[in-house]
Chain A
């Protein structure tokens, strides 16, 4: 009934890991030898199975036929280095060996290594079923594109008589890798072998993201797709005006999903408690495959949407919070919002941007998430250049557009090259710039450009989900190290090297200075977002970036606890709010679950006031 390879993808927080793990439990229970592997660097797989898993195929305790693995880019890089350098071990002095290892630590190697390991699992004979729990959309699409891109680069380099070098080695040595990448592409494109399951929630941004991914996958020739709509409110939970309002909204979105997609659709209700542990997962798996809910099952109920009363009685802002949001001593302030996918980073960043701009500061709101939906929530087009938000006086918005950033970066280097070099040299540089490594470099340079921009008093960053954001923020440190090594091994430091290093240092220093930077984590009160933020907080601290604000989102208002289902959810919530207070020393600000999704400036502005006060 199922293909051997199942990919679970979708917007962060939609429930990818839960649905993937439930499917894995169900299939293993049917005596299929099953592997579940996550490609998300901020994976929650160990959290849902309640056991350590790590970067190796690990049997899941107490479950026959089921193994798990968490693909760790750092360990994959170490393995890749070990494999690459093993011929020289013991032959050359330890000191030199160490330098070579550091050289291979380049960010480009890390991306390559993780993706190389990923393709290994598309030729896995030991299992009947291989389930991929992927990272949030933007980065997963990149992972899936890489086999196509690298295969192309190797093929081209092999034909090129001038040396056949690629960023990952001479083309001649890469025939084996190319065969592996080509196999990966064929397997993913074959509907008899691979199915992509998109997990989404009945909300505008989630639907938008699923549509975009499906279009991108079609471009890659990957056509076999299904949808799971997760987090559906059960009818019996909706017995008060607030919940009925939300239920009616849900109905609208289900209609949009039904008419907007031509792929099989299964629904999954929101459980009153968290889905953690194997028994729970198996029950969800059985629901999913034996008693699947369809949109028709939610059809009969039709409700009028009544406008909710506007909120009033806003609290005054706490001065301690205010000083985290505005510049000090006529300087600048940079505010980062990070966290697991689906916690509401973009809405909170947008609400914060409006709030700060309303205090009279010239503010830029910028997203680094390749799957950003900033444009959707403002109902305006957002581009890669800062643009004043329509109808506003103080808030500019922009996003980092990977493709445009890459083109600009290439053009900048080529323009310099054209002034200095002859045509042949420029061509050689151009060839090398077509390597997939360039994109990450370009995005990173763009991030540095924005982070050092002086014309704004406040810059609010809406970041990509945790794993990839940590990587982006660690890049200034990593690349600075690469420049040190370069100076040590080859040419000595050039003027450009010096300039680049001082730019990186500026950003590193800025991120570590609490008088300039506010690093905040957004989460809702459940286990996985808290775990993920705690881990990320520790990792950031290790590069000298302290966390100074925590946002607790989607808090159920006390006034709406009219039935057992909602009371059970509230009990769970209170337990985790306590957990947040225990784990984070930074102040916590709260935003209640609102009747409507935060779309449009006025709703966002109101959310900002609810969050911080006036």
Chain B
């Protein structure tokens, strides 16, 4: 859907609503997360050759793709809060 919670479509999208919650927590930890939608910000996808390569190999099933400091850290679904925390600890 075009918006971040899916309410602009025929039904709200639970996954996106959950994600909003996680992102709010992550932000409190001091990481800035920006979510780009491929149909709205295609340039951001084009900028990252690794992202394009993944879509070439796995089609749109690769989405969502999460990258941290330009390195891909998760594909196919959104990271959980625990996964975000782990990434931070490593960094």
Contact = CB atoms under 8 A, between A and B. Distances in A.
A57 interface: no
Interface in B1-18: 1-5, 7-15, 17
A482 B39 contact: no
Interface in A487-530: 489-491, 494, 496-497, 500, 504
A162 B2 contact: no
Given A84-B42, A173-B41, A429-B17, A438 B7 contact: yes
Contacts of A429: 5, 7, 12, 17
Given A96-B59, A486-B13, A490-B13, A432 B46 contact: no
Interface in A137-196: 162-163, 165-170, 173
B63 interface: yes
A338 interface: no
A494 B42 CA distance: 28
A238 B82 CA distance: 84
Contacts of A104: 39
B91 interface: no
Contacts of B40: 84, 168-170, 173
Looking at chain B, what size class is its interface with the partner chain?
Answer: 35 or more
B4 A85 contact: no
B46 A162 contact: no
A479 interface: yes
A95 interface: yes
Given A163-B4, A429-B5, A483 B39 contact: no
A483 B56 contact: no
B60 A96 contact: yes
Interface stretch (A63-71, A319-327, A389-397, A419-427): A419-427
Contacts of B73: none
A170 B3 contact: no
Contacts of A425: 17, 20-21
Contacts of A168: 2, 40
Nearest to B18: A425
A99 B60 contact: yes
Contact of A88 (B4, B5, B45): B45
A109 B10 contact: no
Interface string A77-116: 0000000111110011101100110011010110000000
A409 to B, nearest CB: 9
B87 interface: no
B35 A163 contact: yes
B65 interface: no
Residue from the set B2, B35, B42, B63 with the largest chain A CB neighbour count within 10 Å: B2
Contact of B10 (A95, A103, A482): A482
A437 interface: yes
Given A106-B9, A425-B17, A432-B8, A88 B42 contact: yes
Given A425-B21, A432-B5, A489-B60, A87 B12 contact: no
Contacts of A162: 23-24, 27
B37 to A, nearest CB: 8
Contacts of A428: 4-5, 17, 20
Q: Is the interface of B mostly helix, strand, loop or mixed?
A: loop
Given A99-B60, A425-B17, A425-B21, A435 B8 contact: yes
Interface in A228-254: none
Interface in A424-450: 424-425, 428-429, 432-433, 435, 437-438, 441
A413 interface: yes
Contacts of A166: 3
Nearest to B38: A100
Contacts of A491: 13-15
B43 to A, nearest CB: 5
Contacts of A167: 2-3, 8
B34 to A, nearest CB: 7
Contacts of B81: none
Contacts of A421: 17, 21
Given A91-B46, A109-B2, A438 B8 contact: yes
A85 B59 contact: no
Contacts of A173: 40-41
Contacts of B8: 108, 167, 432, 435, 437-438, 441
28 contacts: A84-B40, A86-B42, A87-B42, A87-B43, A88-B45, A91-B52, A96-B55, A100-B39, A163-B35, A167-B2, A168-B2, A169-B37, A169-B41, A170-B41, A417-B12, A417-B17, A421-B17, A424-B24, A425-B21, A428-B4, A428-B5, A429-B5, A429-B17, A432-B3, A432-B5, A433-B7, A437-B3, A491-B13
Interface of B: 1-5, 7-15, 17, 20-21, 23-24, 27, 34-43, 45-46, 52, 55-56, 59-60, 63
Interface of A: 84-88, 91-93, 95-96, 99-100, 103-104, 106, 108-109, 162-163, 165-170, 173, 413, 417, 421-422, 424-425, 428-429, 432-433, 435, 437-438, 441, 479, 482-483, 486, 489-491, 494, 496-497, 500, 504
A-B interface, 10 closest residue pairs, ranked by CB to CB distance from nearest: A169-B40, A87-B42, A491-B15, A437-B8, A496-B11, A88-B42, A479-B10, A167-B3, A92-B55, A96-B60
